[in-house]
Amino acid sequence: MDRRLRSLVAAMATATGVVVALGLPAQAGPSVGAAAEAPQAATAAPAVASAAILAAMQRDLNLTAEQARQRVVREYAAALTEAKLSKQLGAAFGGAWLNADASALIVGVTDLSQADLVRASGAQPQLVARSQRSLDALKARLDASAAGISRSISGWYVDVRANDIVVLAKPATAGVAHAFVARAGVDARMVRVVESTESPRPLYDVRGGDAFYMGGGRCSIGFSVNGGFVTAGHCGTAGTATSGYNQVAQGTFQASSFPGNDYAWVAVNANWTPVGVVNNYNGGVVGVAGSTEAAVGASICRSGSTTGWHCGSIQAKNQTVNYPQGTVNGLTRTNVCAEPGDSGGSWLSGSQAQGVTSGGSGNCTSGGTTYYQPVNEILSAYGRTLITDGSPPPPPPPTGCSGYEFTLTGSLSGTGASQYQPDGSYYYSSLSGTHRACLDGPSGVDFDLYLQKWNGFGWSTVASALSPYPDETLSYSGTAGYYRYRVYSYSGSGAYTLGFTNP
């Protein structure tokens, strides 16, 4: 360890009575408290959401500007963690969801021996009876039995929080729903029938981004892609000609799927240039940085020409909705309101594209439920590439960690291994300011870096760098307190160098 760092750690141990080898500061030490500054974005995180998204989140989620910004950062990190854990846990993965204020990602596990792996990723494990795979398989049986289904059933979905399947039925029609479940060959113990007044229908008159017209109808652009844009499938069929918001000839539907799915893509002519932004109907645009899928419980915002910007949260994924025209599978359920004139439009979580409006029930006076078709499925189905707003990509991974105040070395033994630095302990920063770190790992591995802060009761991750590379950098602006770095192997083994500078 660097001589100055040794002196700093020794002085801290002397002042607080802490034995450094324990790796945890005593709770009686200097208070860092619950009011410590919240996490800032690591360099691997996306750009903070646009002002329009943040303003709408403040209004609809009752957040301050800083709380909205912090939530976007946390939710993006949670999305990356969920994607990693779903692969690592395999058949033991029981779904994932954020708690009410998005401060914690909870991950269901069917095997408690996997709990430490979840904790090591900064998430909270919860023992569940059924895996995500088994629940999805049960829902697929319901999907396969949807032909001729009664209009009294409005849809069904996997509820990851409750670890079961929910079937929505109109009041006093639960018997019809139970009969549907039995006909599908699904164990009734795995299903909850919930009475609901929902009457979902496609929102044909919707405009989430700029309006476009087809014959006597009007819909909205979802997101720009190479060659054109994606939108809702119920807006048109292959060969349908479109004109833009200004009634200038625009393009032609190349493919469309509805019901079953609710997506389509339109190729535009030379008069139109797709750009990676969404009209916010408040005199500006919202930039689209990517399409990382947000977790259940994450905040989500929608733009529509009838009701403008509205935000809420994701309630469930992979819901089947029973429209009058037939069932649509794989939709995402939200508690965001929408009204006719809002269909086909853009959904974003932070700066990340999520989907295009399909349909819903209710309104923006009394509230409602709205569904969107996930955008990544649309891109995959049609081989399209999302157009982003041209923000510079994250810097390439570093090739060495020179120029930092402290330099330490270590070695990870294999996938899932981790070490805490400095030297299995922690350091104390007496000033507010920026903590910077650089991790240099061997070629061919995927090492990740976490910065953790003592909150008076335990260690909390305040910043992370989670690229698929061996090398990482992060930066965090924080208050005085105890800190440590966690070096984690997502895959591979070998020696690494950690450089860091603290206030």
Interatomic CA distance for residues 356 and 384, integer angstroms: 15
CA distances, 277 to each of 88, 224, 313, 344, 367 (Å): 34, 8, 22, 15, 27
Task: Give yes or no: 262 in active site.
Answer: yes
The answer to whether residue 234 is catalytic is yes
pLDDT of residue 296: 94
CATH architecture for segment(s) 3-30+397-501: Sandwich (2.60)
Q: Does residue 2 or residue 260 have the better pLDDT?
A: 260
pLDDT for res 90 = 94
Q: Are 98 and 296 in contact (CB under 8 A)?
A: yes
Q: What would the mean pLDDT of 150-158 be, rounded to a whole number?
A: 93
The pLDDT value recorded for residue 118 is: 95
Mean pLDDT computed over every residue of the chain: 83
pLDDT, tens digit, for every residue of 280-296?
Answer: 877 777 888 888 899 99
CA 498 to CA 406: how far, in whole Å? 8
Is residue 331 within 8 Å of residue 351, measured between CB atoms? no
pLDDT at 400: 65
**Residue 305 phi/psi, 5° resolution?**
-70, -20
Fold of the domain built from segment(s) 63-127 = GMP Synthetase; Chain A, domain 3 (3.30.300)
- Write the single-letter amino acid at 52: A
- Angle (deg, nearest 10), helices 65-89 and 51-61: 90
Q: Specify the range with the lowest mean pLDDT, choosing from 363-367, 451-455, 473-477.
A: 473-477
Nearest to 294 by CA among 96, 41, 120: 96
Lowest-pLDDT range of 19-33, 76-90, 353-367, 430-444: 19-33
pLDDT at 202: 62
- Indicate if the pLDDT at residue 270 is higher than 90: no
Contact between 309 and 50 under an 8 Å Cβ cutoff? The reply is no
Give the integer Cα–Cα distance in Å for 304 and 316.
Answer: 21
pLDDT at 207 over 70: no
CB of 350 closer than 8 Å to CB of 46: yes
pLDDT greater at residue 170 or residue 26: 170
Predicted pLDDT of residue 351: 85
pLDDT tens column, 31-47:
222 223 333 333 344 45
Active-site hit among 159, 262, 342, 446: 262
Omega of the bond leading into 259 within 30 degrees of 0 (cis) = yes
Q: How many CA atoms lie within 13 A of 462 on its CB side?
A: 26
| For residue 443, pLDDT beyond 50 | yes
User: Tens digit of pLDDT for each residue in 337-348?
Assistant: 988 777 888 999
Check 343, 349, 351, 425 and give the catalytic one: 343
> Could you give the maximum distance between any two Cα atoms of the chain, in Å?
79
178 counts as catalytic? no
Topology of domain 132-195 in CATH is: GMP Synthetase; Chain A, domain 3 (3.30.300)
Tokens of 483: 């800190």
- Which of 92-101, 216-225, 382-391 has maximum average pLDDT? 92-101
Pick the catalytic residue from 234, 303, 389, 464: 234
pLDDT at position 267: 93
Per-residue pLDDT averaged across 387-402, rounded?
A: 59
Given a contact cutoff of 8 angstroms between Cβ atoms, the answer to whether 464 and 490 are in contact is no
When pLDDT is cut at 50, 70 and 90, the band that residue 56 belongs to is confident
Average pLDDT estimate for 144-160 = 93
Whether 201-382 and 63-127 are alike in CATH topology: the answer is no
Q: What pLDDT shows up at residue 9?
A: 32
CATH number (3.40.640.10, 2.60.120.20, 2.40.10.10, 3.40.50.300) of 201-382 reads: 2.40.10.10
pLDDT at 393: 42
> Rounded to 5 degrees, what are φ and ψ at 251?
180, -160
Could you tell me the two tokens for 359? 């349909």
* pLDDT score of 358: 93
The domain limits of the chain are 3-30+397-501, 63-127, 132-195, 201-382
Task: Tell me the range of 46-50, 176-180, 279-283 where mean pLDDT is highest.
Answer: 176-180
Q: Where in 381-442 does DSSP place strands (E)?
A: 406-412, 418-421, 427-429, 433-440
Average pLDDT over residues 310-314: 91
Residue 391 pLDDT: 53
